[in-house]
Amino acid sequence: MSSTRWPNQVFEFLAIDRESPPSELFGSEVPPLDDRTLLAPVRSWFLPGSLDIHEVAMLDGNVVFTATGHNFLAQLLNDGGWKRLWWPRALDGLEARVGRRPFDQRYFQLNGVAVGGGLDQFLFTAFSDETTGPKPWKAGYGPRQKGVVFSGGTREVVARGFTCPHSVRWRDGIPWVCDSGYGTVGYLRGSEYTPVLTVPGFTRGLAFHGGYGFVGLSKVIPKYEAYAPGIVADDSACGVVAFEAATGKEVGRLVWPEGYQVFDVQLLAGIAKPFLPPPSDQQEDNKAFLMHYGYDRDARPKG
């Protein structure tokens, strides 16, 4: 799992259940689990700068991530740092053509990645494929229908016409994608996008299990209404919708009335009741599993 802002952080979790508590790692501090599975953070990487890590995936046993702030896919190195693996072909020779470096500013909002058998079978979502300046999708009427899907193999655009697309995924050899700004989920046949589900929210985060899909919903942020021209902002919701992949029929919805944004949806194979470490002020004896130590935003220096 990634934390997308400064500092960029990637967490590795270990699934711990009552049948096999890893005493060699946690000693006697493993809490009572009942029938639950604890997702305990066991390692993390801090990466400086404005990488803005979005989606995290696996390639040949290595962790890779979209460095959205700098237009490329990178591999996370076990001993710290990263190395650049992939970028859109539009960046090749950019400095020679127009005098701008290809990785020193955000051109595409390269965010989602669909994992294939190899890098040549990966797919990527982005808000645009233009290199006219930083965040070119904001120009004119905003990002409406400027979004694209890139091929990992050719590094070229394979589909256009999306509005802030996210969460491209392979399912049974067919790529699926969220056309987030219109609140839809659908699939690609060649370059043609067919939406199968429309929901009241900015669609982001997509996963499949059997014949069902699960998509995350986010409320439209007021100052970013241009990013969601196909959604009624006041009616947008935060939650997760389950649907039949074959028909697009919604079969279930979980909504958080006070929630706001959902970034991703993942399925955990074989785990029925996962839970994350509790906040430190709730269970003192679980500090060994904490992901973050909080602070009081309203605190003032004494004296």
DSSP 173-192: TEEEEEEGGGTEEEEEETTE
Fold assignment, 2-289: Neuraminidase (2.120.10)
The residues near 256 (Cβ < 8 Å, ≥ 6 apart) are 238, 239
- Residue among 97, 105, 162 at smallest CA distance from 128: 162
Q: Which residues of 10-38 are buried (b: 16+ CB within 10 A; e: fewer)?
A: beebeebbeeebeeeebeeebbeeeebbb
Instruction: Parse the chain into domains and list their residue ranges.
Output: 2-289
Provide the pairing of β-strand 157-162 with 2-3: unpaired
Q: What is the DSSP letter of 216?
A: E
* Residue located via tokens 């392979």: 170
Provide the pairing of β-strand 37-47 with 274-275: parallel
What does the alpha-carbon distance between residue 181 and residue 226 come to, in Å, rounded to a whole number?
Answer: 8
The total of other beta-carbon atoms located within 10 Å of residue 291's CB is: 16
Provide the pairing of β-strand 147-151 with 202-209: unpaired
pLDDT score at 303:
42
Question: Do residues 45 and 80 make contact, with C-beta atoms less than 8 angstroms apart?
Answer: yes
Question: What does residue 101 show for φ and ψ, rounded to 5 degrees?
Answer: -70, 145
Distances 67 to 27, 48, 101 between C-alpha atoms, Å: 36, 12, 16
Computed over every residue of the chain, the mean pLDDT equals: 88
Q: Which residue has the higher pLDDT, 36 or 93?
A: 93
pLDDT score at 270:
86
The total of other beta-carbon atoms located within 10 Å of residue 125's CB is: 29
- Max CA separation in the chain (angstroms): 66
DSSP 281-300: TT-GGGGGG-S-----TT--
Instruction: Provide mean pLDDT across the span 64-85.
Output: 94
DSSP 132-175: SSSSGGGSTT-STTTEEEEETTT-SEEEEEESS-EEEEEETTEE
In this model, does residue 130 exceed pLDDT 70?
Answer: yes
What does the alpha-carbon distance between residue 10 and residue 98 come to, in Å, rounded to a whole number?
Answer: 34
Question: Of 136-145, 165-174, 201-210, where does mean pLDDT reach its minimum?
Answer: 136-145
In this model, does residue 16 exceed pLDDT 90?
Answer: no
Range from 5-9, 266-270, 277-281 that averages highest in pLDDT: 266-270
Instruction: Provide mean pLDDT across the span 83-106.
Output: 94
pLDDT score at 36:
84
pLDDT tens, position by position, 161-204: 999 999 999 999 999 999 999 999 999 999 999 999 999 999 99
pLDDT tens, position by position, 44-57: 898 888 899 999 99
Split at pLDDT 50, 70, 90, the class of 232 is very high
Q: How far is CA 100 from the centre of its chain?
A: 28
Q: Which residue has the higher pLDDT, 106 or 21?
A: 106
Paired residues of 199 in beta bridges: none
